[in-house]
Amino acid sequence: MKGRMIGAFAGLAGLAAGGFATATALRAQEAPTDIKIGTLYASSGRYASISMPVHYGLKLWIDQKNAEGGMYVKAYDKKLPIKLVAYDDQSNTATAATLYNQLITQDKVDLLVADSGSVLTSVAVPIARDRKMFLFDQTGTGAAFFTKDNPYIALMSDPASTIWPKPLADFLSYDGPNLGIKRVAILYATNEFTGTQANAVKKFLKDAGDKVEIVFDQGVPTETSNYTVLINNIRAANPDAVLHLGYAPNDIAFLRNLQDNGIKFKMLFCIYPGLETELLEKNVGEKGLQYVYTYVPASEIKYDVNFGMNLDQFKDAWKKKYTDGKVEFGFNSVAGYTTGLVMEKAMSVATSMDQLEIRRAVFSLSGNLKTLDGTFALDETGGQTGELMPLGQLVPDKDGHIHFVSLYPHENANGKPVYPRP
């Protein structure tokens, strides 16, 4: 009896071992030679200055991983080299749509990553959804991207536009009246990103009980490159605070036109002096950025990390890799690298390469992954809720060099607002 039992155990062990060996062999057999990541970038056009830093950030992560022998992919239980398939959409949405389709149907990429910004992401969202391909949305924050019936998207690196401007709106509603801010002008570029932010600001102001009055509210095409007349019109409305919501080229033109006209608003908020400070400094100069209110992005805050490089390490790696200075370091470079980290962590969790399993793996990181971009947290629609950006102000030191002062929410504040600007 005992002998039969031992024999049975031996048989079972043999079967198990055989099964394990077969499974391992199958896995090894099934494992591809590499993991294909497909993405787009804009080397020219309106969105080049926000796309190239993101792309370079992602490439930095890929090169690092490949230098280490690849990325661990749990589905194959081994490290695989990463192959980047990247096309240039030249900031053109029609080109981008064709190329996203090509990445999925011709190149058959394993992971699909959107180009930077809401405009170039907007065409990826329906394509990814139709093709049942999970979209790693790097910085596309448009409100319409995130719906309960679309499981094929998650936002990697910045908050959805619907919640992004909350610190700004709350500052105006709750701190503004005490400072003397009663009249607000809003000028925005009519695209998914800044259009949504403008609507969100108005909604937050209304929800707070209309403590400030909107005296100017106008949208302009994203391609606008001259604001002289608009600035004059805003001045005629006599606002206490001016919110200019546009992409980097819009902010550059707006701030330069302000300087050229010798006009100083008592409070001026722009998005990109915070997000792409280096780029804005090159174009507007430090003087033109003094006392501008903006978001304080991850490229300015040293978050504790539990995965990947911290901000200082990333900055050093960036400067070492990209020495020509043609692509500036800033929020978007951090965003590209963060996308890589999320993919790496998700691949170490996903048990298969099925796109819904990849989604499950990405969502399982929510609240647990802490990168140099802050805490990665998603809501049920895939919108980012963890990497919120406080409101800050660029204040000059005694040498005239600007630095960030965080103002709102108060728990993140490290200084007081300078209002009205000197």
Partner 1 sequence: MLAYTLFAGILFGLYFSLVGLGLNLVFGVMRIVNLAHGDFLMLGAYLAFWLYTLSEVNPVAVIPLAFALFVLIGLPLYYILVPRLLAANDPEMLSIILFFGLSQVIEALAGIVFGRSERSIPGGELGRALAGFVNLFPGAKMESGPVEIFGQTFPAAWVVAGLASLLAVLCLYVYLYRTRLGALTRAVMADREEALSTGIDTHRVSAIAFAIGIALAAIGGVFAPFMLGSITPAMGVEATVTSFAVIVIGSLGNPLGTVLGGIVYGVSYMLMQSYLSSWANLLPYLLLIAILLVRPSGLLGRQVRLA
Compute φ and ψ for 197, nearest 5 degrees: -65, -40
Minimum distance of partner 1 from residue 162's CB (angstroms): 21
Minimum distance of partner 1 from residue 97's CB (angstroms): 19
Minimum distance of partner 1 from residue 388's CB (angstroms): 27
34's tokens:
């590499």
Q: Please give the C-alpha separations between residue 180 and each of 173, 267, 317, 420, in angstroms, as whole numbers.
A: 11, 11, 44, 9
Distance CA 88, CA 90 (A): 5
Are 219 and 189 a contacting pair, CB within 8 Å? yes
Are 86 and 41 a contacting pair, CB within 8 Å? yes
Minimum distance of partner 1 from residue 217's CB (angstroms): 11
CB closer to partner 1, 52 vs 243: 52
Give the amino acid at 200.
Answer: A
Distance CA 356, CA 19 (A): 27
Best CA proximity match to 281, nearest among 264, 256, 298: 256
Distance CA 347, CA 58 (A): 16
Minimum distance of partner 1 from residue 53's CB (angstroms): 9
Distance CA 180, CA 188 (A): 23
Distance CA 51, CA 91 (A): 9
CB closer to partner 1, 282 vs 302: 282
Are 35 and 112 a contacting pair, CB within 8 Å? no
Minimum distance of partner 1 from residue 341's CB (angstroms): 25
β-sheet with 135-137: strand ranges across: 82-88, 35-41, 111-113, 135-137, 153-155
Q: What is residue 162's DSSP assignment?
A: T
Minimum distance of partner 1 from residue 322's CB (angstroms): 11
Angle at 274 between CA 215 and CA 63, to 5 degrees: 145
Distance CA 172, CA 180 (A): 10
Distance CA 238, CA 415 (A): 27
Minimum distance of partner 1 from residue 328's CB (angstroms): 6
**Interaction site with partner 1 (CB under 8 A):** 43-46, 48-49, 52, 90-91, 190, 218-221, 223-226, 228-230, 232-233, 236, 248-250, 252-254, 256-257, 259-262, 279, 282-285, 324-328
CB closer to partner 1, 22 vs 261: 261
Minimum distance of partner 1 from residue 250's CB (angstroms): 8
Distance CA 167, CA 231 (A): 25
Minimum distance of partner 1 from residue 132's CB (angstroms): 33
Give Dmax (Cα) for the chain.
100
Distance CA 330, CA 335 (A): 9
